[in-house]
Structure 1
């Protein structure tokens, strides 16, 4: 073949050549990598002579768009299969945890802000403290008697209930039963309510023997001035020292200090007008007299003389 014929043949072949990206797509079928490679790399007989000529060499990157188009269905199918397999594994894992009774971690726990590992862990349940066993009537009675024997001041029902871990509504009736039992049995002591609490006291009919045993050789009685001052404070409280002195007719500063030192009288504020200190009786005073409140003090009317009004006018 002459050079002219060869050139005409190559020109015709070049004019009839179609780039790979403009070629019609094959029907939708499973692409074969080997075929795709052969379509791209294997030269046709018509292009052998054309490939030998440097000016018309086919660019290597021209085959990439067609190759990506044909490989895309295979990649999408592979990704879909991988996603289905991961979803199946996760469903099987959740079913296994549900059979074991463990909490399942899903989108709900992550959406609620609970970490995956924390939600999947077992929850620690703290056992509630066991309530104190309820004492029988005999045990409750014995426990109350034992406590009342060692107290040095009246103790309230609420404190006794807290110590014994029993309802306060149950402690009160038992204390009443104990007090009634002591009285019925004729014991030398009695259980009495005083100063807002309960305490054991000796009976008044045996006071002479108790005083002989406790006060023998000792002088612990209050003076007449102290008794009078204490009576004024008890019936007129809260009261100032000047008011006490006006009632008694003498200065009572020293007597007030003595009563405060012995714990029978205490300060309770100041008077609004004058700023003088006010005094009242203490819980020890109620305890010594065996009273629950100052309202139980006996009235003064039976102890006043008949001419009290005349005496009051004479002192003015």
Structure 2
């Protein structure tokens, strides 16, 4: 080809050249269902196929620039999905707060539970069962106890062994005892009562110490008290290696005491010559 023919060919090409922004947009090809990405094929998350070109009149356009006709990248789609869904693809369920009981319903629920318990129950346990704040349960129990006392019922609500429980009133003890015992002999023996008193006031204490205080062997009595759940082992004495004993929670429950601090003082029950007896025992 001669130089003149080559120049004519270049001139024809230049005359027939159409800028990219003036070219008609080609029809998009339908994606293959077998290879299409399900995330990218969602219509509500697809980005525009053709970006708009805004050219500055004072700046010459770049003839080599091409409009990107690709859809959103998988990375962008994944980031958008991560922002819309929790990790792991699971929907986070926020539990609804428990309903707040009114005073009448809270009082009735507490009374119903206290009627069926077989041991003192703490305020925290009651609050967890009823799904109510412990700050409401405590004052309500005090209010119930005061109302029972003011009404003169044959029972009362009081603290015992770190919890709350219904008890019969002391003035009706003879009637309750007559009904419960009904001719049966279930009382502790004098030896068991004395041993239990020694453990209560001197705990933790060993068997040998109890026997020395009472002046007789107490092994059988101690086994009886352990079997009935009134005393329990609480460790070993470092010097002698003997077992130590203390009163149990059942002891507080049976006596209706909240703690050992509620035990009556021992001084009024001691004989006047207690010091002389102690010196004689030595």
Same structural fold, with TM-score higher than 0.5 when normalized by the shorter chain: yes
Structure 1: gaps spanning 5 or more residues: 1-16, 33-72, 97-104
Matches within 5 A, 1:207-218: 207-218=173-184
Aligned residues: 241
**How far apart, in 1, do the equivalents of 2:8 and 2:208 lie?**
122
Considering Cα pairs closer than 8 Å and 6+ residues apart, tell me whether 1 or 2 has the greater RCO.
2
Q: Does residue 169 of structure 1 match 2:135?
A: yes
SS of 1:30's equivalent in the other structure is helix
More helix by share: 1
**How far apart, in 2, do the equivalents of 1:95 and 1:196 lie?**
71
Matches within 5 A, 1:65-214: 93-94=46-47, 110=75, 115=78, 119=82, 125-214=91-180
- CA distance 1:139–1:83, shift in 2 (3 Å): same
- State the 1:122 CA deviation: 5.9
Query: 2:193 maps to which residue?
Result: 227
Query: 1:30 maps to which residue?
Result: 13
- State the 1:216 CA deviation: 1.6
**How far apart, in 1, do the equivalents of 2:255 and 2:146 lie?**
21
Q: Does residue 246 of structure 1 match 2:199?
A: no
- CA distance 1:299–1:83, shift in 2 (3 Å): farther
**How far apart, in 1, do the equivalents of 2:158 and 2:277 lie?**
40
- CA distance 1:84–1:227, shift in 2 (3 Å): farther
Q: Does residue 303 of structure 1 match 2:256?
A: no
RMSD: 3.5
Which of structures 1 and 2 has the bigger CA Rg? 1
**How far apart, in 1, do the equivalents of 2:243 and 2:83 lie?**
70
**How far apart, in 1, do the equivalents of 2:222 and 2:9 lie?**
121
- Is the 8 Å Cα contact of residues 85 and 91 (structure 2) preserved in structure 1? no
Query: 2:281 maps to which residue?
Result: 315
- CA distance 1:149–1:95, shift in 2 (3 Å): farther
- State the 1:302 CA deviation: 1.1
SS of 1:94's equivalent in the other structure is coil
- CA distance 1:94–1:210, shift in 2 (3 Å): same
**How far apart, in 1, do the equivalents of 2:83 and 2:244 lie?**
69
TM-score normalised by structure 2 residue count: 0.74
SS of 2:148's equivalent in the other structure is helix
Q: Which of 214, 218, 226 is the aligned partner of 1:260?
A: 226
- CA distance 1:29–1:244, shift in 2 (3 Å): farther
- CA distance 1:188–1:125, shift in 2 (3 Å): same
- CA distance 1:170–1:120, shift in 2 (3 Å): closer
**How far apart, in 1, do the equivalents of 2:162 and 2:83 lie?**
57
Structure 2: gaps spanning 5 or more residues: 29-42, 50-70
**How far apart, in 1, do the equivalents of 2:111 and 2:259 lie?**
24
- CA distance 1:82–1:202, shift in 2 (3 Å): farther
**TM-superposition CA deviations, 1:207-262 (whole Å, max 9, x none):** 00000010121111111111111011001111111111111111111110000000
